[in-house]
Each structure stands twice: as structure tokens, then as C-alpha cells.
Amino acid sequence: MDQLKLGFEQRQKSRLRVTLETGEQVAFALPRGQVRRSGERVTALDGRVFEVVAAPERLLHIESDELVKAAYHLGNRHVAVQVGPGWLRIAEDHVLEAMLRKLGARVSRVEAPFEPEAGAYHEHHDPA
């Protein structure tokens, strides 16, 4: 099965035209209001099925002795946040980075796939 490498921004769109590594363009019309997750399958308008892969992105990796406090301030700003064991990740943003450092967080830059939390009201869909 062909893979479709997409950043978080692209994985949120319902209408999408993507250029594959081969140079070929493929179009998708997907349900609105959903984020495609790594491992999910999507069907192009021409009927071909692709596996979605979260592409590496420039992120801020956040660690803190008061991680809940950092998460609160990010949530208060409606920032998409990926939660891991002892860390948070957000899209690179110099304003948020400065705020987090003022809160005492240790912030580093990483390039990694971005899979933020779906939110409390998100309906779960299995990728199969």
C-alpha cells in the first residue's frame, strides 16, 4: 500500500491535493472536522487507498517539574498539544517558547511526527 506523508496541518483538511514522491498528484475529499492519524487509510478520488503517515515537523519539546502548569497555559491558548510520558510537544512558536521558559520549562527543538491529542469531544475512529 502506498503511503501518504502529511504534516498535522494537512491531516486536518477535508479537501486535499497532494504531490507524491513520484511527482504524481492525488486528490482527496474527506469527512470534515476529522484529523487523519498515522496508520489510518484514506481513499483518493481515483479509488486508490493510501496509508497516512505523520511527517516529521519542527516542534518544541517541553519538559518541566510543573508540566501540568505548562499544559494548563497551553490549553488556555487552545494550542494543539502532543502528550508523552513526562513531556509535551507543540508546533514551533517563538512566543509560546518564551512563555514556557518564563514558567521554568525546559524547551528544546526537535523534528518528529506531530500527533496532538484529539480533544475531549473527539469521536474515536479505529485506523483499520
Write the secondary structure of the chain as one string of H (helix), E (strand) and C (coil): CEEEEECHHHHCCCEEEEECCCCCEEEEECCCCCCCCCCCEEECCCCCEEEEEECEEEEEEEECCCHHHHHHHHHHCCCCCEEECCEEEEECCHHHHHHHHHCCCEEEEEEEECCCCCCCCCCCCCCC
pLDDT in tens, 85-123: 999 999 999 999 999 999 999 999 999 999 998 865 455
Query: Domain end: 18, 39, 54, which one?
Result: 54
pLDDT digits (tens, 9 = 90+) for 35-80: 899 999 988 888 889 999 999 999 999 999 999 999 999 999 999 9
| Residues sharing a CB contact under 8 Å with residue 3, sequence separation 6 or more, in sequence order | 50, 51, 52, 53
- Quick one: pLDDT at residue 56? 97
In-domain check, residue 128: no
| Portion of the chain with pLDDT greater than 70, in percent | 92
Q: How confident is the model at residue 3 (pLDDT cuts 50, 70, 90)?
A: confident
Q: Is 28 among the domain residues?
A: yes
For residues 42 and 120, give the distance between their C-alpha atoms in angstroms, rounded to a whole number.
24
**For residues 37 and 41, what is the distance between their CA atoms, to the nearest angstrom?**
9
Statement to judge: residues 64 and 39 lie in one domain? no
Tell me which residue range forms the domain holding 17.
2-54
Q: What is the pLDDT of residue 67?
A: 96
